[in-house]
């Protein structure tokens, strides 16, 4: 009987832990979609809400911006995103940190010059004050096979 109770307890613990992970992953995924939409619409309030004060936002060009600069360039129309398509996304949760990897097809129109970038992106989200916020992001250009 003791073995049965121990086995049942272990199973319930694993099941509850898995449910929590799935919920957190869904919450992070929702925030990624909200960030995508905020970047497309240049929504300053949403960009502020979704990003941490300590944001480090790395572009594939090597440029790294803080939160203030990241938001200013989008809302000031210096960086104009016309579409962002996300695929092959994985989310890994460890405590109050989420590591996200995905592929992005990013369409821009900066300074009236349309461009398309194929990117491999890694994001770090952190739960701050009960909300997941983007803490870090780095992208590299996807290389086409030779």
φ and ψ at 121, to 5 degrees? Answer: -125, 140
pTM of the model: 0.83
List, for residues 12-30, the tens digit of each pLDDT value: 444 444 444 479 999 999 9
In a domain, 46, yes or no: yes
φ and ψ at 38, to 5 degrees? Answer: -65, -35
In a domain, 74, yes or no: yes
Q: What is the pLDDT of residue 4?
A: 55
Residues of the chain with pLDDT under 50: 5-8, 10, 12-21
In a domain, 120, yes or no: yes
Rounded to whole angstroms, how far apart are CA atoms 122 and 103?
9
| Cα distance from N-terminal residue to C-terminal residue, the chain | 62
Domain enclosing residue 62, as ranges: 2-141
Q: What is the pLDDT of residue 22?
A: 75
Look at the chain and report how many structural domains it folds into.
1
CATH number of the structural domain spanning residue 60 = 3.10.450.50
- Cβ atoms of residues 42 and 34 within 8 Å: no
């Amino acid at each position: 009987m003791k073995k049965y109770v121990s086995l049942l307890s272990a199973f319930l613990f694993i099941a509850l832990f898995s449910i929590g992970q799935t919920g957190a992953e869904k919450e992070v995924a929702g925030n990624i979609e909200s960030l995508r939409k905020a970047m497309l619409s240049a929504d300053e309030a949403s960009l502020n809400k979704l990003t941490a004060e300590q944001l480090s936002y790395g572009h594939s060009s090597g440029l790294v911006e803080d939160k203030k600069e990241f938001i200013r360039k989008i809302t000031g129309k210096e960086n104009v995103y016309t579409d962002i398509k996300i695929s092959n996304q994985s989310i890994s949760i460890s405590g109050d940190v989420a590591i996200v990897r995905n592929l992005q097809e990013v369409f821009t129109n900066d300074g009236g010059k349309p461009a398309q970038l194929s990117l491999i992106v890694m994001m770090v989200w952190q739960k701050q004050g009960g909300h997941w916020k983007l803490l870090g992001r780095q992208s590299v250009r996807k290389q086409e096979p030779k």
